[in-house]
Amino acid sequence: MSDVARLAGVSTATVSRVVNRRYGVSASTIEQVRAAIEQLGYESSLVATSLRSSRTNVLGLVTHSFQSYTAEVLKGVMDALSQSGFDLIIYANSDLYGTYSDGWEQRHLARLSGTLTDGCIVVTPSREVRSGTPVVVIDPARGSAVPSVTADNFAGATAVVEHLLGLGHQRIGFIAGRASLEAAWSREEGYRTALAQAGVPIDPRLIARGVSIPSPRRRSRVRCWTGRTGRPPSSPPATGWR
């Protein structure tokens, strides 16, 4: 900070006020200090900033893994943060399907909350999460009381099945997602409701349960249907995966 003050021709106290966005500094001095900061490549420590002001202007995004759905969520978060003055830290699990994956959301939150972030977004947690830092969940676990954002999964699944029925399909498979996710239950309920309203019997053998898995194992679900029922579904399966 003393190097910035020397280059800008101001006191270290003035540099501190500019860095921490405090009042009492003229616009011209702010520009002068910012120019010196940019020239020197100075970056304030997140932890030091947090200890001084109890804020970091950083949000965390916690996810189990990166898939197409997560990428879309990330784009939305970045759009919302644009011009807000907040930065984003992303924390993803490194052990996608191993034993270490259990309880990933709470471990990641513990590492990001407190001095590193002002709040966290958790994407599709498998259980309830707790943190001293504000948290919002995207697609919560069943029965979660944490503030959350989710789509109308029931209506979406119903619309998909109604569309397939309209194309003449009767044997519609359904790949259920993680049983811990509220979204997975809502989608299966939409699937069952659409079939029932159309008078199509629900064949439990056409419902496969699983989690988000690589494509070779997804193909094995279809082979599993064929083995259980003697033939695969008449359409690509509706899915509750995430």
Average pLDDT over residues 82-91: 87
The more confidently predicted of residues 239 and 74 is 74
Tokens of 220: 């094995």
Q: How far apart are CA 58 and CA 155, in angstroms?
A: 35
Query: 20: which DSSP letter?
Result: T
Return the pLDDT at 45: 53
Q: Dihedral of CA 16/18/21/26: which sign?
A: positive
Q: What is the pLDDT of residues 30-73, one digit of tens each?
A: 888 888 877 776 665 544 554 455 677 889 999 887 778 888 99
Q: How far apart are CA 190 and CA 194, in angstroms?
A: 6
Tokens of 234: 């008449």
The more confidently predicted of residues 127 and 220 is 127
Q: How far apart are CA 226 and CA 230, in angstroms?
A: 5
pLDDT bucket at 195, cuts 50 / 70 / 90:
very high
For the cut 60, the answer to whether the pLDDT of residue 88 exceeds it is yes
Least confidently predicted of 48-52, 101-105, 120-124, 234-238: 48-52
In the beta sheet, which residues pair with residue 238?
174
Question: Tokens 């519609």 appear where?
Answer: 172
Q: Are 91 and 106 in contact (CB under 8 A)?
A: no
pTM for the model:
0.64
Rounded (5°) CA angle 25-31-8: 85
The more confidently predicted of residues 227 and 16 is 16
